[in-house]
């Protein structure tokens, strides 16, 4: 009887999984280093500020160095932040850029990648050019794919059980005639595929899908009216709201969210698909 009880105890220990307890928000990302593409404006910058408040060190990337520097100065009061000039369309340089990003802090690692870099089309279907199509697809879909690949290799090499969060959109649920919608369909599918391939390494991949959000991409700036009768919730989402959900998803509290897309749309594009 004693041997049976001992064996049961051993089996129980082997099957025990460490589940993190809820912790204070300032400690949610303590000790983590996050790399955020498209981090110099809109949702990307809001995530950078939120991650800093949650204890992470943050590296933001973009193509405009002056804008990146200004964002770091603006957010510096919230913690350790740096920047890296990076064009996600330049796939060839990504491995060295990821290495450079990891070396920016003493930890010499990247625990979190957020693929937030994105552009939207301005032309209608009948006026779409190949150049505009390629720019959007190369940034939103191709950039997300190869940035994830480069950071995943870094994580695997350094045995980092990290998080990758892709920024998609409620547009990924709509009929796709624009390259923007097509790119977001691609990101939604890639999120599932990357989650499948990387979870054996302890790398968690998910996506967050904002609906209409008060960002410069949609012509909204600080202080603008965000009411929108066409949205069931009656207003645009704020970037800070998207960022709060993102912080939870890339924390250890989100370790059992795998391959999922979380929508924050105010109902636009989700409950309104029938309209």
Record the tokens describing residue 164, joined without a space.
């990758």
Contacts of 169 (CB under 8 A, 6+ apart): 180, 184, 209, 210, 211, 269
* Residue 41 to residue 85: CA distance in whole angstroms: 14
Q: Which of 121, 120, 105, 98 is nearest to 37 (CA)?
A: 98
* Residue 230 to residue 236: CA distance in whole angstroms: 10
Indicate the helix (H) or strand (E) that contains 62: strand 57-62
* Residue 175 to residue 167: CA distance in whole angstroms: 19
Q: Which of 219, 128, 241, 114 is nearest to 182 (CA)?
A: 128
| Integer CA distances (angstroms), 270 to 44, 65, 243, in order | 23, 37, 20
Candidates 83, 133, 145, 180; catalytic one: 180
Active-site residue, 180 included: yes
CB burial class (10 A; 0-12, 13-18, 19+) of residue 19?
exposed
* Residue 234 to residue 21: CA distance in whole angstroms: 35
Residue 159 sits at the vertex; the CA angle it makes with 22 and 165, to the nearest 5 degrees, is 55
HSE, CB side, 13 Å, CA atoms: give it for residue 242.
33
Q: Which residue numbers are catalytic?
A: 180
């Amino acid at each position: 009887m004693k041997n049976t009880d001992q064996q049961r105890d051993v089996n129980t220990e082997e099957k025990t999984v460490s589940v993190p307890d809820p912790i204070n928000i300032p400690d949610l990302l303590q000790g983590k280093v996050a790399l955020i593409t498209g981090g110099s404006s809109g949702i990307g910058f809001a995530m950078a500020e939120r991650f800093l408040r949650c204890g992470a060190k943050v590296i933001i990337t973009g193509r405009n160095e002056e804008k990146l520097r200004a964002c770091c100065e603006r957010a510096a009061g919230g913690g350790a932040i740096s920047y890296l000039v990076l064009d996600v369309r330049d796939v060839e340089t990504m491995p060295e850029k990821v290495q450079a990003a990891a070396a920016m802090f003493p930890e010499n690692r990247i625990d979190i990648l957020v693929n937030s870099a994105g552009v939207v089309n301005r032309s209608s279907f009948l006026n779409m050019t190949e150049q505009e199509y390629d720019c959007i697809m190369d940034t939103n879909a191709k950039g997300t794919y190869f940035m994830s690949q480069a950071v995943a290799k870094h994580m695997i090499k350094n045995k980092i059980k990290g998080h990758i969060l892709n920024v998609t959109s409620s547009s990924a649920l709509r009929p796709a005639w624009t390259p923007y919608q097509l790119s977001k369909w691609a990101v939604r599918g890639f999120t599932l595929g990357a989650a499948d391939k990387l979870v054996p390494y302890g790398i968690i991949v998910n996506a967050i899908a904002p609906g209409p959000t008060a960002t410069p991409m949609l012509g909204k700036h600080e202080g603008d009216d965000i009411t929108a009768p066409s949205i069931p919730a009656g207003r645009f989402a704020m970037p800070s709201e998207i960022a709060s959900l993102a912080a939870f998803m890339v924390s250890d509290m989100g370790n059992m969210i795998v391959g999922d897309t979380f929508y924050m749309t105010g109902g636009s594009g989700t409950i309104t698909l029938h309209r």
